[in-house]
């Protein structure tokens, strides 16, 4: 699936990077709950603590693709990406505290379906037969993985809506960062977007408990989720079509289900295990030669 606007250039490291980045992000909701600050504060610290590391990595960018090459258009794209990511983290961190761990991860990953929809509606891309099969299997897998905790209840309804809103903002972020990657290397692009999101989140974060007593969870969020997780995803998104990017995000719910089982005793049943198999099948289908359009 290619177009002038979204160029999926061949790169053998892109898919492994996308899988690894998604796996790192799967630990985010658990770390948000462990943090001893307000949800909006943990979102700010995730971004703010990551900025120095990302700026150092950005200095290693190839000539002509570093921070100096951003230009006015690049700064505008970085602003859109940063605003969207700040909104994504703000509503998602609030949602994590108001719904189940499974719902928070799965509903926030509705970008799995929004990204291919963007490719079809905005870019005129047409999924092939195998790609439709992959989407169908992914949808069935998500439904099964969700299990009992996925049911929208009065108790979790507000949190579920916040996590769904996070998926919309995250889709906008992925689109903006992919376009920014046509101008900049991965680390400069991510550094600019992260800096913008940290500045946007700061006044919101000051509305509740702000300074951590235990820095481990927020530092793990910054390094694991933002520097490593997002860094690998921003690198990979330039080389993969929207469908593959979206489906690969489903690695997160599978890992979150395992965390829930180990940490909170949320042992998955047969339906959840079947859902994980369907998700893996969908990911494998996207890697078949016949699935590329």
Residue 56 makes CB contacts below 8 A (sequence gap 6+) with: none
Query: Could you tell me how many residues make up the chain?
Result: 293
- CA dihedral angle for residue 203, residue 209, residue 215, residue 221, rounded to 10 degrees: -50
The percent helix, strand, coil of the chain (3-state, each to 5) is 75, 0, 25
Question: How far apart are the C-alpha atoms of 173 and 169, rounded to whole Å?
Answer: 6
Per-residue pLDDT of the chain (293 residues; tens, 9 = 90+): 333 334 455 578 888 999 999 899 989 999 999 999 999 999 999 999 999 999 999 998 888 888 888 888 889 999 999 999 999 999 999 999 887 777 788 777 766 666 666 666 665 666 677 777 877 887 787 777 655 555 546 667 788 789 889 988 988 998 898 889 888 888 899 999 999 999 999 999 999 999 999 999 999 999 999 999 988 988 887 788 777 777 787 788 778 777 877 887 767 677 767 877 787 777 677 665 555 54
What's the confidence (pLDDT) of residue 112? 63
Annotated domain spans of the chain = 14-288
Do the Cβ atoms of 160 and 152 come closer than 8 Å? yes
147: left (phi over 0), alpha (psi -120 to 50) or beta: left
Do the Cβ atoms of 28 and 257 come closer than 8 Å? no
What's the confidence (pLDDT) of residue 41? 97
Question: How far apart are the C-alpha atoms of 20 and 262, rounded to whole Å?
Answer: 20
What's the confidence (pLDDT) of residue 91? 96
What's the confidence (pLDDT) of residue 151? 53
């Amino acid at each position: 699936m290619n177009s002038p606007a979204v160029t999926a250039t061949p790169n053998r490291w892109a898919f492994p990077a996308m899988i690894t980045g998604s796996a790192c992000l799967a630990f985010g909701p658990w770390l948000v709950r462990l943090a001893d600050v307000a949800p909006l504060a943990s979102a700010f610290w995730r971004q703010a603590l990551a900025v120095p590391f990302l700026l150092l990595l950005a200095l290693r960018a190839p000539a002509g693709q570093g921070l100096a090459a951003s230009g006015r258009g690049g700064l505008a794209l970085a602003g859109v990406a940063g605003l969207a990511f700040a909104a994504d983290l703000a509503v998602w961190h609030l949602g994590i505290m108001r719904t189940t761990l499974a719902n928070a991860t799965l509903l926030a990953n509705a970008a799995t379906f929004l990204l291919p929809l963007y490719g079809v509606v905005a870019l005129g891309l047409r999924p092939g037969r195998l790609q439709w099969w992959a989407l169908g299997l992914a949808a069935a897998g998500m439904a099964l993985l969700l299990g009992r905790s996925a049911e929208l209840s009065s108790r979790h309804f507000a949190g579920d809506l916040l996590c769904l809103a996070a998926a919309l903002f995250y889709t906008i972020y992925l689109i903006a960062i992919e376009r920014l990657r046509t101008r900049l290397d991965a680390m400069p692009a991510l550094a600019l977007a992260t800096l913008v999101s940290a500045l946007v989140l700061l006044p919101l974060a000051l509305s509740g408990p702000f300074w951590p007593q235990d820095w481990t969870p927020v530092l793990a969020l910054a390094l694991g989720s933002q520097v490593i997780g997002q860094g690998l995803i921003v690198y990979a998104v330039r080389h993969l079509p929207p469908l593959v990017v979206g489906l690969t995000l489903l690695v997160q719910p599978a890992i979150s289900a395992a965390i829930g089982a180990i940490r909170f005793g949320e042992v998955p049943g047969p339906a959840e295990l079947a859902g994980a198999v369907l998700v893996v099948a969908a990911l494998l289908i996207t890697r078949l030669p016949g699935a590329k359009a």
